Structure 1
Amino acid sequence: MQIHIQRAVEIASSPDMVHVTCQGVPIYIQHVDEKNEMCRVYPLDQPNNERDVHVSALEEHRG
């Protein structure tokens, strides 16, 4: 399910881990720039590999 900007904000501020991917890679949303609809993310297994992606590139997977 594609994520909208408000949902990205909710996920980023949530204390619970939410399964989100970017191009099939599980990621953590570190920060959300609501004005530009960009998210600062990193792969769960590579916390030093931060990058900015458009919110449309993110997918939420619900169990």
Structure 2
Amino acid sequence: MEIQRAVEIFNSKDTYKVNLEGKSVWIEHVDQQNGMATVQVGSRPTNTLTVNVDRLKEGE
């Protein structure tokens, strides 16, 4: 995923499917300068990862 698209999804009021290695995630924060995103994996708010946005896929 491109960094700008990650920012658009994060700022949108709509819900988009985003996956990280086949697992559904929610984007919680986007660090544009470093190309990183903090995502919540699954439904547990404490299960977060910070990953390169290139690893995120939309709509799969």
TM-score tier by shorter-chain length is: over 0.9
Q: 1:8 aligns with which of 2, 6, 11?
A: 6
Show structure 1 runs of 4+ deviating over 4 A. Answer: none
1:12-51 equivalences in 2 (<5 Å): 12-51=10-49
Shift of 1:44: 3.0
Q: Deviations over 1:31-62 (max 9, x none)?
A: 10000000010113222111100001100017
Q: Percent identity?
A: 40
Q: CA RMSD in A?
A: 1.1
Unpaired runs of at least 5, structure 2: none
Shift of 1:22: 0.3
Give TM-score, length-normalised by structure 2: 0.92
Q: How many residues align?
A: 60
Give TM-score, length-normalised by structure 1: 0.88
